[in-house]
Structure 1
């Protein structure tokens, strides 16, 4: 039986992935900072079949806690590591406190990078795959998300480099680029001062649900895909940014004009 570790597993896309993977027969290791929610979700999912599921409550930006997790798991084969835990902000860059940018980078870039590097022995033993939940914001600018765009761009570049460096070890990388999802990451977005954002998010295209996204990620994983653009709009928008960046900026400023006031 194959083993999958999912971060940010107690809600949103992580929880949808856990449910979908469980139904497909995976053994799961679930990680989340919300210990109570994680325990409740794990009990609901596993029931009496606790041999197929382990869970660990910790903040992945806590280096010591992360190192303890790695020490616990690194000597056991790991087939899939899903770096899903994330955070975003909705605030104009010029108004945003540096602490907010640091927090977003710590969660969205540093934590998945450090966890992956720590678990390379486990992934190598299973000839496993790293799945990273990126974002269309890592490919193209989005007003009000300067820190998030930066973190997701850095995530993509790091793992595209790592892909080439660990290919001979049999380790794969699947980069996932969803657009807008109906998940808690947006409901819990930070404002300019680190408190919850007070204004509703701007979006373009269809807002998909987490179950829809989870199924496509697992299908892409099973097919050995390297990159997943699950929404045609996302792919077309990324092409527009590359082929006609000035037009893209005009359209973005029109659609996200409300972000300029926050």
Structure 2
């Protein structure tokens, strides 16, 4: 796939996987539309890329949980570059807390960003992607294979992306649109990454040093290869593959492992 002058819209691209995707695609000659809710951080990311000499880049602030913002985002991308070839639904937020203690507002916020945000952006993009016979891509998680205790709302939002992509793939075959999804494992934290606590307050992402984390550059490169090869789905990391296998063929064992891990975390506080 020749990325030169291809136009890629990446939601949640001011930090983390989204920002790394943008960097690697710009290196390949693509034009990139950045997006994030935090306008100040998005502006800093845009400036950093421009200072590196990148030309084919634009930034459109907006909240993907707001349908009107999604419409403006896609319209701005089309107006700026005149076409749209790839949309990467990467924006996401997590939350930590048991179902019984999470504020209803946390369930709403996580669902609106992780799931409905991808729906809204995809709906607005499909007319343009049909014209270019392009790609709509979803960044999901290995949490989509089984609900993780203490992270139920995040798991639910990621499995929703799985079923959405499966249905959309069949619907868009006739239009030549490629639909892909990546089930990403534990990835290096961006220092600026935040999650919701049980009351809906944003707090720094807790350390995940207890598990091996994949470099963000490796994750981004794998996503790009999937788009280039028009792959439908892939599970990242050995842990992710083992998780998928265990939940499919040994669900009782997988359940026991999750219960043990959950109770150990509770005991440690």
1:61 equivalent among 58, 61, 65 = 65
Is 1:112 the counterpart of 2:118? The answer is: yes
TM-score of the superposed pair, with normalisation by structure 1: 0.92
2-side partners of 1:48 and 1:213: how far apart?
22
**Higher normalized contact order (CA 8 Å, seq sep 6+, divided by chain length):** 1
Aligned to 1:142, the other structure's residue is in SS state: coil
Is 1:139 the counterpart of 2:145? The answer is: yes
Q: Is the 8 A contact 1:89 1:189 kept in 2?
A: yes
Distance 1:118 1:94, change over 3 A: same
Q: Is the 8 A contact 1:142 1:149 kept in 2?
A: yes
Aligned to 1:95, the other structure's residue is in SS state: coil
Q: Is the 8 A contact 1:9 1:32 kept in 2?
A: yes
Cα deviations by residue, 1:151-183 (Å, 9 ceiling, x for unpaired): 111111011101100111010111011111123
2:38 equivalent among 34, 37, 44 = 34
1:94 equivalent among 100, 103, 127 = 100
* 1:126 corresponds to: 132
TM-score of the superposed pair, with normalisation by structure 2: 0.89
* 1:159 corresponds to: 165
* 1:22 corresponds to: 26
Q: Is the 8 A contact 2:15 2:192 kept in 1?
A: no
* 1:169 corresponds to: 175
Cα deviations by residue, 1:195-231 (Å, 9 ceiling, x for unpaired): 2458946687521121111111112211221112221
Cα deviations by residue, 1:55-74 (Å, 9 ceiling, x for unpaired): 10111112222222233345
* 2:201 corresponds to: 195
Aligned to 1:25, the other structure's residue is in SS state: coil
Distance 1:226 1:245, change over 3 A: same
Q: Is the 8 A contact 2:9 2:32 kept in 1?
A: yes
Aligned to 2:100, the other structure's residue is in SS state: helix
Distance 1:157 1:74, change over 3 A: farther
Distance 1:225 1:204, change over 3 A: farther
Distance 1:89 1:186, change over 3 A: farther
- The structure 1 segments of at least 4 consecutive aligned residues displaced by more than 3 Å after TM superposition are 47-51, 70-76, 184-187, 196-205, 258-262
The CA deviation at 1:144 is 0.8
Cα deviations by residue, 1:75-108 (Å, 9 ceiling, x for unpaired): 7431110000100111111111111011000000
Gaps of 5+ in 2: none
Distance 1:105 1:259, change over 3 A: farther
* 1:218 corresponds to: 224
How many residues are aligned here? 262
Aligned to 2:196, the other structure's residue is in SS state: coil
Query: Greater CA deviation, 174-183 or 62-71?
Result: 62-71
What RMSD, in angstroms, separates the aligned Cα atoms of the two structures?
2.3
Cα deviations by residue, 1:237-261 (Å, 9 ceiling, x for unpaired): 1110121212111111222335547
* 1:46 corresponds to: 50
